[in-house]
A and B are shown apart, each in its own frame.
Chain A
Amino acid sequence: MLIKCPHCGTRPVEEYTFLGDATPQRPASSDPATMDQWFDYVYLRDNPKGRFHEFAHHAGGCRSWLVVTRDTQTHEVLSVVTARDFARNRTGAGA
């Protein structure tokens, strides 16, 4: 599989280390009342067939954190953005 890093260009998948699902968001509050949200954030993951966002660390290249969007069925890489841009777009969209 080939992944196009926004900084380094197209590189083989071996250069990347994957952390997992990039969709869950850390709850803003540490109030014990938000325990359910924390439980979801720490433990619960979807296993979607189709579009999937995942964190990737370009360890063999620029060492930046990225979010790779990929189709889990066809393995097609749909987009690669920096984790920072991904987070900004998400808050910008009001999520």
Chain B
Amino acid sequence: MTSFRLSRGGLIDRASTLGFSFDGKQYRGHAGDTLASALLANGVQLMGRSFKYHRPRGVISAGGAEPNALVELREGGRREANTRATVVELYDGLTARSQNRWPSLDFDVGAINSLGSSVFVAGFYYKTFMWPKSFWEKVYEPIIRRAAGLGTASREADPDKYERAYAHCELLVIGSGPTGLMAALTAARAGERVILADEGSRHGGSLLFEREEIDGRDGLEWADGVTAELASMPNVTLMPRTTVFGWYDGNIFGAVERVNDHVAVPPPYEPRQRYWRFIAKRAVLAAGAEERPIAFGGNDVPGVMLASAMRTYANRYAVVPGKAVVVFTNNDSGYRTARDMMAHGVRVEAIVDSRPASSADTGGARVLDGRTIADVKGRKNVVAVTLADGERIDCDTVAMTGGWSPIVNLLCHRGAKPHWDESIAAFLPPEDPACAFVAGGSAAGKMLLSECLADGAARGAPDGAARMVPSCRDEAFAITPFWWVKESKGKAFVDFQNDATADDLLLAAREGYGHIEHAKRYTTTGMATDQ
């Protein structure tokens, strides 16, 4: 048992110990871990190097949008580059290697790029490698490709099998958090054929890591009860480990089911992955919302992570990444992380809240209202933070939250545009009542659990009426937009995976590329796989 692993709690099986290796070094984790949570439990925070500056990076999220902790998984023909450690389920004998570093992750020569960072600004390639023309293909591009980059593909043939399959249903539910479970349950009880797809290994969504109370019970217990009822119904197909990635004409959805990605070698006659096409009469997007970072100096130092990710590691995986936390927030959900960490016995040094005042439940933590973190001290781990007014707070981890963005992407696949909502400072999905595909719950901007449960029930019901909505305890939500700490001296990353900073965006604006589409092209912000 390491000091980073809590002695009780979490959805891990402490009785089963799994051995795995990262960069050739042996570690141990438990069934129920992801590669990221197992590494954190072993005290490994440094998991990758950044794309351009080769800066040391650790995990920032605990889910599918991870920009930093990208690793090469498995060996030989089964080697897979750029897998996210946050979603790789741990199995016995797993091997993983870090990427984009030489000679080693701990000592990376490419980090010299950081020293020359004043020349590697936005548009650097366009400004520098202009002539002679013939040099671009033969000299510049190969050098840039070697210096910047991700993992390398295997040169051996993939020995595994892959399948394709079709499924039809009256209701497809994408995501199985509170909203998705309610939608599926309501439709299933009305006798409809339902498919419930979730990218995780277990249904429950946010209930797997948030401490909630539904129907007078623990939230996860409620989720397990609903999942069991759905599993017992012949008209319901539960599809865990299934990511829905596309919405096409005729309400057809493309999805990939990772049938055997969570084992070293698929059992005989079984595929590794299955490509699905769901033909759905109606569909509900219940993919939830994603937490946003705040741009401040050194917000990429290993040990700085999203507030919800820190909660997830503590509550779901029983891992606390540090002993002394500072929370930086512009909304109420940061307080939740502070309370949860204190419940796990972790010291919360301060909650730094950019808002002048808030009514959130502090749980007894010291709150610094109207203050901001300007810079993080430390390179491969956090040593302290300095506030914009100069105060220094010693700590070893920082939890940041810039609010929540509903995951609207799928609903925009056929041309409809999202719209901005001031009250939660986020883009909401397009709304078309005639459309057979609608968003529900936090994917539709509902920030309270009770709203999500009711919205799920209404979206799932064939007649749109919410019934049998369970009662629950709500966590208040309020946000005042705050994105960027101007006083920061260090690099304040906006796009972690492509190493684009707030300064790059300012430069783009100064040079006449202010329009969002121009700024995106010029700085590469938002063009990585985590977009």
- Using a CB–CB cutoff of 8 Å, the interface residues on chain A facing chain B are 1-2, 12, 75
How far is the CB of B117 from the nearest CB of chain A, in Å? 47
**A-B contact list, 12 entries, CB within 8 Å:** A1-B248, A1-B249, A1-B250, A1-B252, A2-B249, A2-B250, A2-B252, A2-B279, A12-B252, A12-B277, A12-B279, A75-B249
| Cβ–Cβ < 8 Å partners of B248 in chain A | 1
Question: CB-CB contacts of B230-270 with A at 8 A, as 1s and 0s?
Answer: 00000000000000000011101000000000000000000
Across chains A and B, the number of contacting residue pairs, with CB separation under 8 Å, is 12
| Cβ–Cβ < 8 Å partners of A2 in chain B | 249-250, 252, 279
| Cβ–Cβ < 8 Å partners of A75 in chain B | 249
| Cβ–Cβ < 8 Å partners of A12 in chain B | 252, 277, 279
| Cβ–Cβ < 8 Å partners of B249 in chain A | 1-2, 75
Once the chains are docked, how many angstroms separate the CA of A2 from the CA of B251?
Answer: 9
Once the chains are docked, how many angstroms separate the CA of A1 from the CA of B251?
Answer: 8
| Cβ–Cβ < 8 Å partners of B250 in chain A | 1-2
Known: A2-B279, A12-B279, A75-B249. 5 other contacts (CB 8 A): A1-B248, A1-B252, A2-B252, A12-B252, A12-B277
What is the total number of residues of chain B having a CB less than 8 Å from a CB of chain A?
6
- B248 (CB) vs chain A CBs: closest residue: A1
| Cβ–Cβ < 8 Å partners of B252 in chain A | 1-2, 12
- A3 (CB) vs chain B CBs: closest residue: B250
Once the chains are docked, how many angstroms separate the CA of A75 from the CA of B248?
Answer: 10
Once the chains are docked, how many angstroms separate the CA of A12 from the CA of B250?
Answer: 9
How far is the CB of A72 from the nearest CB of chain B, in Å? 12
- B279 (CB) vs chain A CBs: closest residue: A2
| Cβ–Cβ < 8 Å partners of B277 in chain A | 12
Once the chains are docked, how many angstroms separate the CA of A40 from the CA of B461?
Answer: 54
How far is the CB of A4 from the nearest CB of chain B, in Å? 10
Once the chains are docked, how many angstroms separate the CA of A55 from the CA of B379?
Answer: 64
Q: Which has the most chain A C-beta neighbours within 10 Å: B248, B249, B252, B279?
A: B249
Once the chains are docked, how many angstroms separate the CA of A12 from the CA of B279?
Answer: 10
| Cβ–Cβ < 8 Å partners of B279 in chain A | 2, 12
> Which 9 A-B pairs give the minimum distances between C-beta atoms?
A2-B250, A1-B249, A75-B249, A1-B250, A1-B248, A2-B252, A2-B279, A1-B252, A2-B249
How far is the CB of A24 from the nearest CB of chain B, in Å? 26
How far is the CB of A21 from the nearest CB of chain B, in Å? 20
How far is the CB of A9 from the nearest CB of chain B, in Å? 13
Once the chains are docked, how many angstroms separate the CA of A2 from the CA of B252?
Answer: 8
- A2 (CB) vs chain B CBs: closest residue: B250
Once the chains are docked, how many angstroms separate the CA of A74 from the CA of B79?
Answer: 41
How far is the CB of A50 from the nearest CB of chain B, in Å? 15
How far is the CB of B325 from the nearest CB of chain A, in Å? 51
Question: CB-CB contacts of B167-208 with A at 8 A, as 1s and 0s?
Answer: 000000000000000000000000000000000000000000
Once the chains are docked, how many angstroms separate the CA of A12 from the CA of B166?
Answer: 11
Once the chains are docked, how many angstroms separate the CA of A75 from the CA of B249?
Answer: 7
How far is the CB of A45 from the nearest CB of chain B, in Å? 23
Once the chains are docked, how many angstroms separate the CA of A2 from the CA of B248?
Answer: 10
Once the chains are docked, how many angstroms separate the CA of A87 from the CA of B408?
Answer: 45
How far is the CB of B248 from the nearest CB of chain A, in Å? 7
How far is the CB of B398 from the nearest CB of chain A, in Å? 47
Once the chains are docked, how many angstroms separate the CA of A2 from the CA of B166?
Answer: 13
Once the chains are docked, how many angstroms separate the CA of A75 from the CA of B277?
Answer: 19
How far is the CB of B436 from the nearest CB of chain A, in Å? 12
Once the chains are docked, how many angstroms separate the CA of A75 from the CA of B252?
Answer: 13
Once the chains are docked, how many angstroms separate the CA of A2 from the CA of B278?
Answer: 12
Q: Which has the most chain A C-beta neighbours within 10 Å: B250, B252, B277, B279?
A: B250
- B415 (CB) vs chain A CBs: closest residue: A74
Once the chains are docked, how many angstroms separate the CA of A75 from the CA of B250?
Answer: 9
Once the chains are docked, how many angstroms separate the CA of A12 from the CA of B249?
Answer: 10
Once the chains are docked, how many angstroms separate the CA of A21 from the CA of B279?
Answer: 28
Once the chains are docked, how many angstroms separate the CA of A60 from the CA of B324?
Answer: 64
Once the chains are docked, how many angstroms separate the CA of A11 from the CA of B250?
Answer: 11
Once the chains are docked, how many angstroms separate the CA of A75 from the CA of B415?
Answer: 12
How far is the CB of A77 from the nearest CB of chain B, in Å? 8
How far is the CB of B331 from the nearest CB of chain A, in Å? 39
How far is the CB of B62 from the nearest CB of chain A, in Å? 37
Once the chains are docked, how many angstroms separate the CA of A75 from the CA of B251?
Answer: 12
Once the chains are docked, how many angstroms separate the CA of A12 from the CA of B278?
Answer: 11
Once the chains are docked, how many angstroms separate the CA of A41 from the CA of B279?
Answer: 39
Question: CB-CB contacts of B271-289 with A at 8 A, as 1s and 0s?
Answer: 0000001010000000000
Once the chains are docked, how many angstroms separate the CA of A12 from the CA of B248?
Answer: 12
Once the chains are docked, how many angstroms separate the CA of A2 from the CA of B277?
Answer: 12
How far is the CB of B502 from the nearest CB of chain A, in Å? 39
How far is the CB of A18 from the nearest CB of chain B, in Å? 14
How far is the CB of B234 from the nearest CB of chain A, in Å? 24
How far is the CB of A64 from the nearest CB of chain B, in Å? 21
